[in-house]
Structure 1
Amino acid sequence: MTQKPADITEIGGRVRAIRRRRGLGLDTAAGLAGISKGYLSLLENGRRRVDSRALLDRLADALGCSVVDLTGEPFVPAHRHSADALQAVPAVQLALADCSLDDVPDVPARPLADLAEPVHEAHRNYLDHARYDLAGAGLGSLLTDLHIHAATGAEPERQRALALLVEACIVAFGVTKNLGHPDLALQAAHRAHEAAKAAADPALLAFAGQRRAQALQRVGAFRRAGTVLEQALNNTQEFADPTAADTSAAEGVGLLHLAAAMNAARAGYVDRAHNHLAAAEELGARTGERNALGQHFGPANLGVWRISIGVELGDGAAAYDRASGGIDPATLASADRVAMMRADSARALAQEDGRRDEEAIRLLDSADRTAPARVRQDPVMRELLSTLGNRTRRRSWELASLRNRFGLN
């Protein structure tokens, strides 16, 4: 079928425009991105789509721009929950800019005892189910109050405030990243790390280190993400006892290994990716299903990560076939995790050059119905939908419905 060339509203069109502004020829830009000239030409003309985050990052690096320059984020919200959630972004930005761990506004804060439940609810009830509107409601004031307690409180209240601040910053990271504000997500992740370091808690350091690395990956800073992951593993690995009564440190270290596996996969280090994945799986086999700090570490979530890492390694369909049958959505107990399992499974099957596109469309449709605010704002999912639409040879109600829901018609 005839395909229209990508315009400036699509990633391929933005690649073409930025490459030309930089004065780069197709040969040079393709070489810098590690792809062929022909493939880059197909991307720029809308005949191929960016099918992995690794390729998106390599293109941004080759063109000397940020990932968001190519994706065009933040997008116009395609779901009312996302539109409502955007109201929280300015308050979160102000709280992180106006507070530090030793410099806070001279205003009264709510009692610390009144802050724990709202933080837990925002994280485990709302963020975990991709309800960014509810997770973000009041988040700015929560962050400010927790900073005040962390900066001025006496022990042991200060330790409790630091732990809650790590969790609140993880919420801020999730809300802002998934709404298309990766720079603010990076700031939230850095603050979580600072609070975890001040608390000197190995489990918090591991969880915050993973989020910090993910934030760096989101803006394409893979070298720095690798350094952060290596440092975090060095500082926490000795505390990772999967047989302890409290396995939270082991869960955190397992998540660090998963983030390191993803970082290696995107950089093309296949053996390193598999080694980190194996280390995480060894820990998960011994901890069983756990959920310290709402992170769902255990065999089920490991299966989701196997698929996601397989996609970045270009082995997505095989990874999906190996892992998908062993993942019980009820065990994950998280709309966010279930949606991303289905969405990345769709990406995996789309790597089969059209042979499994019908199944991929069904999975993407299911992912969107599970957590629409999460899926519709993801630039890679939007590219996937365009890829599936361009390749289809027959009309599909699900595909047409998806395009309408994503606001792509």
Structure 2
Amino acid sequence: MDNDLANLGQEIRRLRKWRNMTLDALAGQAGITKGYLSKIENGNANLERRKTIKAIADALRVSVADLTGDHFIADRANSDAHAAIPDIRIALMATTLELPHGAPLRTIEELNQETQRLAEARADSQDALVGHALPPLLRDLHAAATIDSNDRLPALRSLVQATNSTAHFLKNLGAIDLAWVAAERGHQAAQILEDPLYIAAADYTRAQALIGLNAYDRADAIARNAVSLLTPDSVAATEVHGMNFLATAFCSEMLGEDPEAALQEAQESADRIDPQNAFWLNFSRVNVELWRTSIALEAGDHVKAAEIAADIRPEDIPTKGRRIRFLIDHARALHGLRGRDEDVTRLLRQAEKLGATRTRHSIWAREIVSEMVLRARRDAGGRELRGLADRMGMLAAI
């Protein structure tokens, strides 16, 4: 493998040697073949499923975040979005819903408007803007939520939404542990409200954070409980109900169970309503298909994933962030079919144009590019791939 190409395989080899494990030992404990592991370490095979990544991480006695985290973010120090993480950490750790924090610097009307503005901006992948504005919003909302006044309940409602935005923002940037802290804070606010709709919405965010941590059993239990809390007798309740079914379906696949019943429940929910985007969750018919694509990929069924993706039009996906994820998933599906390198590169370039930071930091995009660059190094198509790899910070020299 060329020394200038950094990928997940190199990190696995580094940790394996640090643990004084042989290829045979790690492969055996991870439930994969020695030959496949050797190809992964040498960049000749890419990791396509979360299950395999988790199995290797477990065998190495590290977290998935340890395996796929900072070593893959070459431009993190120069990213405005990532630069906001320390301030968000302080805003979460230095606040509580149990003690007053003084008066907020903004009115409740201003805080509600800012909460919605940042929810929309996050969905539109305006990460630098969101990262800059979240810390003061979180501090002000905590202050308003701990004062005994008429502003308390509206502040708690906005805090559920703001922590939802925070958790997804952090998860997208790889700060998974901190995303869980944000999700838990939103759940605390929802419990104080004692409103099943807000509790179920906060539970969906908790389940998403746990999925990012590969804690599928607990994520599944939380999402199932959220489903049981709600009666889908309004559009908002139906949307939150449906999103928790989607989380359950994904967890079912990861736990080796059949996801179809939960997917069908979500589909029926989507068919009953005209979506209103409650809690900025973007529940809809097309969203169900996006989850079907992701679940097929986790099942290793690239043919099914490619077939579903082929029928989805990116322009029908309402948010930029979800379009980026879809384009990467579509690329993953076609990459798994082999012989579609030009289409895969085109999809990844489209994703990069929509959101450079998110695409370049995606472990799936990076794994695809790593493997394809090695194969295409001498081909005409290699130049485009190497350009993409260079922008991802994966090449020390062209």
TM-score, scaled relative to structure 1: 0.89
Please give the per-residue CA displacement for 1:246-276, whole angstroms capped at 9, x wherever unaligned. x11111111111112222222332x1x2222
- What is the alpha-carbon distance in structure 1 between the residues aligned to residue 4 and residue 15 of structure 2? 13
Q: 2:114 matched to which residue of 1?
A: 118
Q: Percent identity?
A: 34
Q: 1:151 matched to which residue of 2?
A: 146
**How many positions carry a matched residue from both structures?**
393
Q: 1:385: Cα distance to partner?
A: 1.3
Q: 2:323 matched to which residue of 1?
A: 338
Please give the per-residue CA displacement for 1:193-234, whole angstroms capped at 9, x wherever unaligned. 221222222232222212211211212222222222232222
Contact 2:103 2:144 in 1 (8 A): no
Aligned mate of 1:369, from 341, 344, 353: 353
Q: 1:203 matched to which residue of 2?
A: 197
Q: 1:318 matched to which residue of 2?
A: 304
Contact 2:127 2:169 in 1 (8 A): yes
Q: 2:343 matched to which residue of 1?
A: 359
> Amino acid of the residue matched to residue 355 of structure 2?
A
Please give the per-residue CA displacement for 1:104-131, whole angstroms capped at 9, x wherever unaligned. 434544221111111111111x101111
Q: 1:179 matched to which residue of 2?
A: 173
Q: 2:236 matched to which residue of 1?
A: 248
Contact 1:78 1:376 in 2 (8 A): no
- What is the alpha-carbon distance in structure 2 between the residues aligned to residue 151 and residue 384 of structure 1? 47
Q: 1:75: Cα distance to partner?
A: 4.7
> Amino acid of the residue matched to residue 107 of structure 2?
P
Aligned mate of 1:37, from 18, 31, 34: 34
Q: 1:277 matched to which residue of 2?
A: 263
Contact 1:342 1:364 in 2 (8 A): yes
Structure 2: state its 5+ residue gaps. none
Contact 1:6 1:12 in 2 (8 A): no
CA RMSD of aligned residues (A): 2.3
Q: 1:192: Cα distance to partner?
A: 1.4
TM-score, scaled relative to structure 2: 0.91
Contact 1:5 1:47 in 2 (8 A): no
- What is the alpha-carbon distance in structure 1 between the residues aligned to residue 152 and residue 108 of structure 2? 9
- What is the alpha-carbon distance in structure 2 between the residues aligned to residue 18 and residue 400 of structure 1? 26
Q: 2:128 matched to which residue of 1?
A: 133
Q: 1:404: Cα distance to partner?
A: 2.7
- What is the alpha-carbon distance in structure 2 between the residues aligned to residue 135 and residue 77 of structure 1? 21
Q: Is 1:99 aligned to residue 95 of structure 2?
A: yes
Contact 1:289 1:300 in 2 (8 A): no
> Amino acid of the residue matched to residue 335 of structure 1?
K
Aligned mate of 1:161, from 145, 151, 155: 155
Aligned mate of 1:60, from 52, 57, 60: 57
Q: Kindly report which structure 2 residues correspond to 1:7-18, keeping only aligned pairs within 5 A, or say none.
A: 9-18=6-15
Q: Say if 1:250 and 1:403 are closer, same or farther in 2 by CA, change over 3 A.
A: same
Instruction: Look up the SS of the partner of 1:351 in the other structure.
Output: helix
Instruction: Look up the SS of the partner of 2:55 in the other structure.
Output: helix
Q: Is 1:220 aligned to residue 214 of structure 2?
A: yes
Instruction: Look up the SS of the partner of 2:97 in the other structure.
Output: coil
> Amino acid of the residue matched to residue 174 of structure 2?
G
Q: 1:331: Cα distance to partner?
A: 3.1
Instruction: Look up the SS of the partner of 1:57 in the other structure.
Output: helix
Structure 1 stretches of at least 4 aligned residues deviating more than 6 Å after TM superposition: none
Contact 1:122 1:171 in 2 (8 A): yes
Q: 1:401 matched to which residue of 2?
A: 387
Q: 1:292 matched to which residue of 2?
A: 278
